């Protein structure tokens, strides 16, 4: 017999699975890590009884679970995170056609942000959510979202190319975690 949460889970995966995977990918830089994170977040979400679990609420839960996993991981990897820019050039730099472009790859820079800043940036500028929408998904106040967006944009400003003159990025798996 089909269960209500089965139906919500299935519908979420079918209709929003790719969006969730791409959200996780932008936060991790790895297609495989993203898939594992999404799958784990889905189990966390649907493995706990919840009241009135609608599709939007389920998606919000999954996104929070993904973000918390990223935060948890970044805390564990904190030491490496602080020094890796001193020891390695991001793979995406080497893959661009324009070798003279000294700016760091923007998407890689997003992943260098604090996870909650990165999540706000991705939800606001990739998923096109409003500030209130981001706040609702992440369960934080709109004021906190504005602060994270402001801090995140400031940190990214040197890597943003308003004219769009840089070559488009290709592929995703080449970007290291």
Partner 1 sequence: MSEHDRNETALARELKAAADASTPRAIDVDAVLGASRAKRRARRTAVVGGAGALVAVLAVGGLVFGMQDGLFGSTSADSSLESGSVAESAPEVADERDESGPVDAEAALEMPYCGARVAPTTDPATAPLAVRLVVPENTAPGTSVAADVIVTNDGEATVSGSIRLVPGLAVDDDGVVVWRTSDPGGPGTGLELAPGESLTLRGSLETRRCVFGDEPLDEAPRADLPPLTAGSYGARAMVEFFAFDSLARFVLVSPGEPFTVE
| Burial of 36 from C-beta contacts in 10 A (0-12 / 13-18 / 19+) | middle
CB-nearer residue toward partner 1: 68 or 91: 68
Q: Does 131 bind partner 1 (CB under 8 A)?
A: no
CB-nearer residue toward partner 1: 84 or 172: 172
CB 149 within 8 A of CB 124: yes
Selection from 4, 7, 19 nearest residue 128 by Cα: 19
Q: Does 137 bind partner 1 (CB under 8 A)?
A: no
Span 153-172, contacts to partner 1 by CB under 8 A: 153, 156-157, 160-164, 168-172
CB-nearer residue toward partner 1: 14 or 86: 14
CA–CA distances in Å: residue 159 to residues 90, 91, 106: 13, 16, 5
Q: Does 126 bind partner 1 (CB under 8 A)?
A: yes
Span 86-105, contacts to partner 1 by CB under 8 A: none
Q: Does 82 bind partner 1 (CB under 8 A)?
A: no
- Tell me the C-alpha distance between 164 and 158, whole Å: 13
Selection from 155, 68, 165 nearest residue 109 by Cα: 155
Closest CB 10 distance from partner 1, rounded Å: 6
> Residue from 63, 90, 107, 134 that binds partner 1 (CB under 8 A)?
107
Q: Does 34 bind partner 1 (CB under 8 A)?
A: yes
> Residue from 60, 91, 93, 140 that binds partner 1 (CB under 8 A)?
140
The two three-digit tokens of residue 53, written as one number: 């679990």
- Tell me the C-alpha distance between 31 and 55, whole Å: 24
Residue 133: count other Cβ atoms within 10 Å of its Cβ. 16
CB-nearer residue toward partner 1: 6 or 77: 6
Q: Does 129 bind partner 1 (CB under 8 A)?
A: no
């Amino acid at each position: 017999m089909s269960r209500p949460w089965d139906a919500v889970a299935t519908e979420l995966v079918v209709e929003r699975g790719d969006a969730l995977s791409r959200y996780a990918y932008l936060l991790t830089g790895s297609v495989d890590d993203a898939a594992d994170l999404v799958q784990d977040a889905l189990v966390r979400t649907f493995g706990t009884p919840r009241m009135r679990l609608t599709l939007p609420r389920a998606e919000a839960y999954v996104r929070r679970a993904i973000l918390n996993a990223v935060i948890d991981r970044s805390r564990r990897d904190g030491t490496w995170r602080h020094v890796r820019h001193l020891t390695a050039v991001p793979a995406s730099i080497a893959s661009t056609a324009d070798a003279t472009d000294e700016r760091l790859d923007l998407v890689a820079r997003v992943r260098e942000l604090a996870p909650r800043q990165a999540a706000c940036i991705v939800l606001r500028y990739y998923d096109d959510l409003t500030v209130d929408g981001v706040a609702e998904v992440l369960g934080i106040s709109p004021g906190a979202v504005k602060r994270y967006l402001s801090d995140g944009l400031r940190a990214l400003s040197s890597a943003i190319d308003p004219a769009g003159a840089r070559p488009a990025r290709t592929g995703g798996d080449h970007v290291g975690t």
